[in-house]
Structure 1
Amino acid sequence: MRIIRYEENDAKEIVSLFYDTIHSVSLKDYTQKAVDAWAPIDEKESKVKTWKESLNQNITYVAKIDDGIVGFGDLTYSGYLDRLFVHKEHQRQGIATAIVELLETEAMQLNLIEIQTEASITAKPFFEQRGYNVICKQTVERKGVNLVNYKMVKRVK
């Protein structure tokens, strides 16, 4: 596995990975209705365009095995860990850990005090193991469906 900086031509594969992961891995913690609201299939193409822009503006890393993307994560310059996803067939192989370590190093180099994220039920244990603390449980609404996630923070300085 190698981890490299995001390039614009990665956007379509990243969005596909996001959809595949949500619609498979997240089903253990969310209902089908919730997963469909979180990652609506009819928005997949438009998400490529919007994510291409936001991934470009953030500090974004992509994990690849051979030439396929197996994970990605991004951090805003203000310290918000926006997205972190690993391919459904590459879970629990250290990919998310490697990406987060790079993002945390970037945060320290930017002299940020903390990193914040909003973790899904599925991702919460991963972040807790990495030293992130739950600030609060939240309910967010997507397409009329309520989804639970957790606002979390980690001090990096």
Structure 2
Amino acid sequence: MTNAQKSSEILVRRVRTEDAAAVCQIHIDAVRQLCAPDYLPEYIEAWVGKLTPAIYERVIADWGETMFVAEQAGRIIGCSALSGNEVRAVYVNPLHARQGVGTLLMRFLEKEAVARCIPKLRLTASLNAELFYQKHGYKVVERSWHILPCGTKIPCIFMEKNLR
């Protein structure tokens, strides 16, 4: 295998506390760039404007979510999170969007859910992510609003998928 082949491989692994800054930046960049066509700037600012690596350090250490990161050539290029039967996040660095990174992260989350005997996964999709989740078998339950921690309401789509 050549060095070019090795550097293009994507490794998915569980998140570590030292990944907090990279995960935070991916979340911010993904929302600011990939969600911009579907959300007003004030929604995007409310969504990610106050995120910090320290917040992610606490999430990784204390919240009990199962989180994964996708790495390529030693750099984190995507992240995902599962909490109980809820997919909490799938974010990909915009430079790596639509290259299969999100799909790899979804596979790991679903494999984890199956291993835990979770029969159905639920998620709150951003408007720009609806087609991604539909492609992975998720069905629209309801178009609604998501309330961000700061209290701002943004449009979203509640979706679910039976794993059995």
Provide the TM-score with structure 2 as the length reference: 0.86
| Deviations, residues 54-97 of structure 1 (Å, cap 9, x unaligned) | 56x22221101111110011112x21111110001000000010
Structure of greater Rg: 2
Task: Report deviation, 1:146.
Answer: 2.9
| Deviations, residues 27-71 of structure 1 (Å, cap 9, x unaligned) | 01111111001111x44254234333356x222211011111100
Equivalent residues of 2:21, 2:52 under 8 A apart: no
1:28 is matched with which residue? 37
Alignment of 1:12-23 (within 5 A): 12-23=21-32
User: Take 1:154 and 1:117, find their aligned partners in 2: how far apart are those partners?
Assistant: 9
Q: Secondary structure at the match of 1:13?
A: helix
Q: Secondary structure at the match of 1:122?
A: helix
Report the count of equivalent residues.
Answer: 154
User: Take 1:101 and 1:48, find their aligned partners in 2: how far apart are those partners?
Assistant: 22
Unaligned ranges ≥5, structure 2: 1-9
Provide the TM-score with structure 1 as the length reference: 0.90
User: Take 2:116 and 2:162, find their aligned partners in 1: how far apart are those partners?
Assistant: 13
Q: Which of 122, 128, 140 does residue 122 from structure 1 map onto?
A: 128
Task: Report deviation, 1:138.
Answer: 1.5
Cα 1:54–1:90 shift into 2, 3 Å:
farther
User: Take 2:43 and 2:35, find their aligned partners in 1: how far apart are those partners?
Assistant: 10
After TM superposition, where is structure 1 displaced by more than 4 Å over at least 4 residues in a row?
A: none
User: Take 1:75 and 1:49, find their aligned partners in 2: how far apart are those partners?
Assistant: 16
Q: Which of 51, 62, 65 does residue 58 from structure 1 map onto?
A: 65
Unaligned ranges ≥5, structure 1: none
1:2 is matched with which residue? 11
Q: Which of 38, 42, 63 does residue 47 from structure 2 map onto?
A: 38
Cα 1:43–1:103 shift into 2, 3 Å:
closer
Superposition RMSD in Å: 1.6
Equivalent residues of 1:20, 1:87 under 8 A apart: yes
Equivalent residues of 2:59, 2:65 under 8 A apart: no
Cα 1:105–1:22 shift into 2, 3 Å:
same
2:155 is matched with which residue? 148
2:4 is matched with which residue? none
1:106 is matched with which residue? 112
Equivalent residues of 1:33, 1:145 under 8 A apart: no
Q: Percent identity?
A: 21
